[in-house]
């Protein structure tokens, strides 16, 4: 095991412990996109599972949304060689997304809602107790900025969350991991990547703008990603403007 792999495994273990993500007997569905993040999540969770005193099982699931060029054969074979059997769901959401998205608009919103609904339903049907998602620290920071700049709210991606319908518990074990480290580890693992050919070709998406903004800031302030994440765990309601969280009227 390389130094980088060991470091990321420790970061994942810390997140699991800090947010009490895994309990005895959990059946965890790992949502696999075929990209680097969820693939590393699956491989690292399997390493942790083998040595953990807590008994839990992993159930990797991939969704074929019938996008042009989708081919998961090599990916599924690679994971099978690591004793990880991928369940492949097939739903043609591609046609719906193309039909419902106005010309020039990003596909991501409609696509993610449809994908989320299919995965949530599958998890509920199979009785999985948790759904593990591959969002990392940079995803969380980008979402924070997107919500501030474009939605007028201060919120991001929590490390652990109950779904809106209350039926599923979501966990993000990569919460403490920086994307640059995941990119480097993906090169070490050398697993085949299944690209997204739907939204990946669209330019000027809000998330890409935030990613570029943070990337430029990190050139001058290399630790800014960690500092931003620390800020999300260091909230001062009295120094914001939300009267529902702080009673300004009685001051």
- State both tokens at 242: 């939300």
pLDDT tens sequence across 12-42: 999 999 999 999 999 999 999 999 999 999 9
Residue 89 has φ and ψ, to the nearest 5°, of -90, 145
Contacts for 89 with CB less than 8 Å, ≥ 6 apart: 61, 62, 63, 64, 118, 119, 122
Give how far Cα 165 sits from Cα of 114, 118, 120, 251, Å.
15, 14, 10, 38
Q: Residue ranges of the domains in the chain?
A: 3-233
pLDDT tens sequence across 41-82: 999 999 999 999 999 999 999 998 888 888 899 999 999 999
pLDDT at 200: 47
Instruction: Return the C-alpha torsion angle 69, 187, 32, 134, nearest 10.
Output: -130
Secondary-structure class of domain 3-233 per CATH: alpha beta
């Amino acid at each position: 095991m390389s130094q980088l792999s060991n470091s990321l495994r420790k970061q994942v273990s810390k997140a699991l412990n800090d947010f009490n993500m895994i309990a005895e007997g959990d059946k965890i569905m790992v949502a696999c996109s075929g990209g680097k993040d969820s693939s590393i999540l699956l491989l690292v969770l399997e390493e942790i599972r083998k040595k953990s005193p807590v008994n839990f099982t992993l159930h990797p699931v991939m969704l074929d949304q019938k996008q042009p060029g989708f081919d998961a054969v090599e990916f599924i074979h690679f994971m099978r060689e690591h004793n990880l059997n991928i369940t492949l769901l097939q739903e043609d959401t591609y046609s719906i997304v193309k039909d419902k998205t106005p010309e020039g608009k990003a596909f991501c919103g409609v696509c993610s809602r449809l994908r989320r609904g299919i995965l949530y339903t599958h998890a509920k049907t199979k009785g999985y107790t948790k759904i593990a998602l591959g969002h990392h620290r940079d995803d969380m920071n980008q979402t924070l900025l997107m919500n501030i700049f474009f939605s007028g709210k201060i919120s991001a991606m929590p490390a652990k969350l109950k779904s809106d319908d209350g039926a599923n518990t979501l966990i993000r074990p990569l919460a403490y991991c920086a994307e640059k480290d995941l990119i480097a580890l993906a090169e070490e693992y050398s697993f085949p990547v299944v690209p997204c050919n739907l939204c990946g070709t669209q330019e000027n998406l809000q998330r890409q703008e935030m990613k570029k903004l943070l990337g430029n800031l990190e050139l001058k302030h290399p630790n800014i990603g960690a500092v931003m994440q620390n800020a999300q765990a260091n909230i001062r309601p009295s120094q914001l403007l939300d009267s529902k969280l702080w009673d300004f009227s009685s001051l």
